[in-house]
């Protein structure tokens, strides 16, 4: 039990350290990218390079993702505070959400299509899906 807790804390410290490193890089270089995104890029780099193993952060990341809904409570309260502003602009908000969602879906589909083509594995992917 103690070993599992220590492993979880180690994963949490790694993820938190990468987030803080991203924030420091952002502030030192004056970048417009959020520090959390820079931290995620650092995490990806460490995972792809093999310096960091997925097993080191997997349990912590899954636990944090399982409680992600708690992070949306402040946003929901903020929406309730400004409900009049939202109701006045409901049509614009709904159209923006629909158009941005459609745009994300199209761009994601095109990107996946190009990556599959770039990897030259279209035949392999088609055979596996059949």
Residues 32 and 86 in one domain: no
Residues 37 and 76 in one domain: no
Report the pLDDT value the prediction gives residue 11, as an integer from 0 to 100. Answer: 94
Alpha helices in 1-130 (DSSP H): 2-29, 35-49, 54-66, 73-81, 83-88, 90-119, 122-129
Residues 6 and 62 in one domain: yes
User: What is d(CA 15, CA 42) in angstroms, rounded to the nearest whole number?
Assistant: 10
Full domain range(s) for residue 124: 72-130
User: What is d(CA 65, CA 41) in angstroms, rounded to the nearest whole number?
Assistant: 18
User: What is d(CA 54, CA 105) in angstroms, rounded to the nearest whole number?
Assistant: 28
Where b means 16+ CB within 10 Å and e means fewer, 4-26 reads: eeebeeebbebbeebbeebeebb
Taking the whole predicted model, whether its pTM rises above 0.75 is answered as no
Residues 84 and 43 in one domain: no
User: What is d(CA 89, CA 84) in angstroms, rounded to the nearest whole number?
Assistant: 9
Q: Answer with the one of 13, 47, 66 that is the final residue of a domain.
A: 66
Residues 108 and 81 in one domain: yes
Q: Answer with the one of 47, 66, 85 that is the final residue of a domain.
A: 66
CA atoms within 13 A on the CB side of 78: 5
Residues 99 and 44 in one domain: no
Residues 52 and 92 in one domain: no
Tens of pLDDT along the chain (130 residues) come to 888 999 999 999 999 999 999 999 999 999 888 999 999 999 999 999 999 999 999 999 999 888 888 877 777 777 777 778 777 888 998 999 999 999 999 999 999 888 888 777 655 655 666 6
User: What is d(CA 106, CA 99) in angstroms, rounded to the nearest whole number?
Assistant: 11
Report the pLDDT value the prediction gives residue 60, as an integer from 0 to 100. Answer: 93
Residues 87 and 124 in one domain: yes
User: What is d(CA 122, CA 130) in angstroms, rounded to the nearest whole number?
Assistant: 13
Residues 60 and 77 in one domain: no
Q: For residue 52, which of 6, 9, 15 has the smallest C-alpha distance?
A: 15
Total count of domains within the chain: 2
Residues 83 and 124 in one domain: yes
Report the pLDDT value the prediction gives residue 124, as an integer from 0 to 100. Answer: 60
């Amino acid at each position: 039990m103690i070993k599992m807790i220590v492993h979880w804390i180690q994963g949490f410290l790694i993820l938190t350290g990468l987030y803080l490193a991203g924030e420091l890089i952002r502030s030192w270089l004056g970048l417009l990218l959020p520090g959390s995104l820079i931290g995620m890029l650092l995490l990806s780099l460490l995972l792809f390079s093999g310096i960091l193993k997925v097993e080191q952060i997997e349990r912590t990341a899954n636990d944090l993702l399982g409680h992600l809904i708690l992070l949306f409570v402040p946003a929901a309260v903020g929406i309730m505070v400004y409900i009049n502003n939202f109701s006045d602009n409901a049509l614009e908000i709904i159209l923006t959400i629909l158009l941005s969602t459609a745009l994300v879906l199209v761009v994601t589909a095109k990107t996946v299509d190009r990556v599959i083509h770039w990897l030259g594995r279209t035949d392999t992917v088609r055979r596996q899906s059949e």
